[in-house]
């Protein structure tokens, strides 16, 4: 496909050729007629005439040729890049309607969207006990009042009714849309793409050098996503995982409402948060799961700690018993010596007593 610049310069060249002096073309015509020869005089006359005209317009011809060369130097022959996708105007979007009836003070309703749409939201409030003929109503988007949305609503058929059309064209258009009747009643519409089914709360644990499979799914009652993407948390950002770029490390299998990510030859760097994204036209919804990569010695650490504690406890008990046995043996030897002494005294007692009597006499 030729570029607009090339077409522009081609038109410039054509216009320059049209501006060439008539003598330029007559000169070549005269030269051709000379070669044919219809008589010496006529040929000479035509040749002289052509030379005269060419001589008069030669400077102008040189100037035109110079312009052609300058124009050709600026011709852009590069192929233009792909045009950015155009957003559909709101008038060409399909229309959808959602409504809710409020009988109390507040009500919340979730609206799932797959594609851009002109969404008509209708709020109906049955009112309170003291029904006024008019109430002031307004719309809010993510807590902020929508510009020019404050209106006065009349009581009709014993109800207040408020309607507004919103153009939902991208992910930024999704969120919370609320209609408020005065300061008493509120109906909230939460606009979002279908959410991924809840994943496991606990992290997946695997070992260094091993392989692990992380799975995500969409509930059977939800619409099928267009495709699935996988991401890995990198600080505050998310990096998309490419199985084509690293076929020996990653493998992605998508199956309508399910997707699986296989990570092979695990390293410590593979640990962290992984996000699966269900891609719809209007938005991408995320689910996440944590992966922990540990060594084979890691599970043994608690048991080793327990064994060490048991060994220390047994050693302490043995030392205590040993010290107690030493004290018992020492006390036992002291008790044995004392009866021997008493026995000796008893054995020597009559002799000593008779000797004492003799001394007294």
- Looking at residue 337, its pLDDT comes to 52
- Looking at residue 58, its pLDDT comes to 56
| Residue with the two structure tokens 């153009």 | 167
- Residue 222 pLDDT level (bands cut at 50, 70, 90): very high
88-92, 178-182, 187-191, 357-361: the lowest-pLDDT one: 357-361
- Looking at residue 358, its pLDDT comes to 47
Is pLDDT larger for residue 31 or for residue 141? 141
Supply the DSSP symbol for 46: H
Report how far residue 59's alpha carbon sits from residue 79's, in angstroms, rounded to the nearest whole number: 37
Q: 86: Cβ–Cβ under 8 A, 6 or more apart, which residues?
A: none
Q: What is the mean pLDDT of residues 131-141?
A: 94
The CA-based angle 269-274-277, given to 5 degrees, is 145
Report how far residue 63's alpha carbon sits from residue 67's, in angstroms, rounded to the nearest whole number: 6
- Looking at residue 332, its pLDDT comes to 63
Q: 356: Cβ–Cβ under 8 A, 6 or more apart, which residues?
A: none
pLDDT at 33 over 90: no
| Residue with the two structure tokens 């000379």 | 34
Is pLDDT larger for residue 99 or for residue 344? 99
Is pLDDT larger for residue 104 or for residue 119? 119
- CA torsion angle 263 264 270 274 (round to 10): 0
Report how far residue 103's alpha carbon sits from residue 185's, in angstroms, rounded to the nearest whole number: 9
Burial (CB count <10 Å: 0-12, 13-18, 19+), residue 284: buried
Q: CA 138 from chain center: how many Å?
A: 34
pLDDT at 265 over 90: yes
Q: 95: Cβ–Cβ under 8 A, 6 or more apart, which residues?
A: 117, 118, 119, 120, 165
Closest CA to 24 of 63, 58, 68: 58
Burial (CB count <10 Å: 0-12, 13-18, 19+), residue 327: exposed
Regarding beta strands 212-217 and 258-263, do their DSSP bridges make them parallel or antiparallel, or are they unpaired? antiparallel
Rg of the chain (C-alpha set): 50
Contact 290, 276 (CB under 8 A): no
- Residue 166 pLDDT level (bands cut at 50, 70, 90): very high
- Looking at residue 305, its pLDDT comes to 80
pLDDT at 292 over 80: yes
90-192 CATH pick, 2.60.40.10, 1.10.10.10, 3.40.50.1100, 3.40.50.720: 2.60.40.10
Count the helices and strands in the chain (H runs, E runs): 4, 17
pLDDT at 199 over 50: yes
- Looking at residue 357, its pLDDT comes to 46
- Looking at residue 324, its pLDDT comes to 75
141-150, 183-192, 260-269, 328-337: the lowest-pLDDT one: 328-337
1-15, 127-141, 160-174: the lowest-pLDDT one: 1-15
Report how far residue 61's alpha carbon sits from residue 24's, in angstroms, rounded to the nearest whole number: 7
Is pLDDT larger for residue 180 or for residue 352? 180
204-294 CATH pick, 1.10.357.10, 2.60.40.10, 2.60.40.640, 3.20.20.70: 2.60.40.10
State the DSSP string of 235-292: TTEEEE--TTT-TTTEEEEEETTEEEEEE-S--GGG-EEEEEEEE-SS-EEEEEEEEE
Residue-wise pLDDT for 51-107, tens only, equals 444 444 555 656 566 655 545 444 443 333 333 334 455 568 899 999 999 988 899
């Amino acid at each position: 496909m030729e570029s607009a610049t090339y077409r522009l310069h081609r038109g410039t060249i054509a216009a320059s050729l049209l501006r060439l002096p008539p003598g330029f073309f007559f000169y070549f015509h005269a030269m051709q007629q000379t070669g044919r020869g219809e008589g010496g005089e006529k040929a000479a006359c035509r040749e002289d005439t052509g030379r005269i005209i060419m001589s008069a317009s030669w400077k102008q011809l040189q100037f035109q040729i110079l312009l052609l060369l300058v124009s050709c130097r600026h011709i852009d022959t590069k192929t233009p890049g792909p045009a950015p996708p155009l957003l559909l105007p709101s008038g060409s979007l399909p229309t959808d309607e959602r409504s809710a009836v409020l009988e109390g003070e507040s009500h919340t309703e979730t609206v799932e969207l797959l594609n851009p749409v002109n969404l008509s939201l209708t709020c109906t409030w049955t009112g309170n006990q003291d029904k006024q003929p008019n109430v002031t109503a307004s719309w809010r988007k993510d807590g902020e009042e929508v510009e020019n949305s404050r209106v006065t609503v009349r009581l009709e058929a014993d109800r207040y009714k408020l309607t507004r059309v919103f153009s939902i064209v991208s992910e930024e258009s999704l969120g919370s849309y609320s209609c408020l009747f005065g300061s008493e009643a509120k109906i909230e519409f939460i606009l979002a793409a279908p959410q991924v089914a809840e994943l496991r709360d606990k992290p997946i644990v695997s070992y260094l050098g091993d392989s692990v499979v992380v799975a995500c799914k969409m509930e059977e009652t939800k619409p099928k996503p267009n495709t699935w993407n996988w991401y890995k948390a990198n600080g505050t950002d998310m990096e998309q995982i490419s199985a084509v770029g690293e076929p020996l490390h990653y493998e992605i299998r998508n199956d309508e409402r399910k997707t699986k990510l296989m990570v092979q030859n695990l390293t410590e760097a593979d640990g962290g948060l992984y996000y699966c994204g269900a891609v719809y036209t209007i938005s991408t919804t995320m689910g996440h799961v944590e992966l922990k990569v540990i060594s084979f010695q890691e599970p043994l650490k608690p048991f080793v700690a327990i064994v060490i504690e048991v060994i220390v406890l047994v050693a302490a008990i043995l030392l205590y018993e040993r010290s107690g046995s030493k004290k018992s043996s020492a006390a036992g030897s002291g008790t044995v010596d004392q009866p021997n002494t008493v026995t000796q005294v008893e054995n020597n007692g009559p002799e000593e007593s008779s000797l004492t009597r003799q001394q007294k006499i």
